[in-house]
A = this chain, B = another copy of it.
Amino acid sequence: MSEPEFFKALADPTRRAVFERLADGEMNATDLRQGFDLSQPAMSQHLAVLRTAGLIAEQKHGRNVLYRINPDGVARIHQWLSRYNAFWPSRVDDLKQLLKEMDQ
C-alpha cells in the first residue's frame, strides 16, 4: 500500500479550514481566501498541496479555477481508518444510527 499523503496535507490548520469550506460547495481560490489572512500565493500553494494529495479536484472555468472536494480522497481516508475499526468501540451503534439517518 502506498503511503497516505493526506495526513501531511491535512496537518495544516489552514488547509483543513479550506477543505472544510469546500465541503459546503465548490469555490474558486479568490473566494476561498475570504476570511483568511493569507496572501494569494499562499492559498495557491495550499491548494496545490491538497490537490497533490488527491483531496481536492480542480476544474478550469475561463480564468477561474473551481475547486471541489475529491470523493476519492475521502474514500482513501476511510480506507486507512478501516484498519482500526476494532478500536472504535461505539462503531456498531454509530453505524446503525448513520444508516437510519440516511434512510429517512
Question: Quick one: which of B7, B69, B82, B85 contacts A7, CB cutoff 8 A?
Answer: B7
Instruction: Give chain A's interface secondary structure class.
Output: helix
B95 touches A69 (CB 8 A): no
Contacts of A102 in B (CB 8 A): 92
Known: A7-B16, A81-B81. A71 touches B95 (CB 8 A): no
Total interface residues on A, using CB and 8 Å?
35
A interface residues with partner B (beta carbon < 8 Å): 3-4, 7-8, 10-11, 13, 16, 20, 23, 69-71, 74-75, 77-78, 81-92, 94-96, 98-99, 102
Residues of chain B lying within 8 A (CB to CB) of residue A84: 23, 69, 74, 77
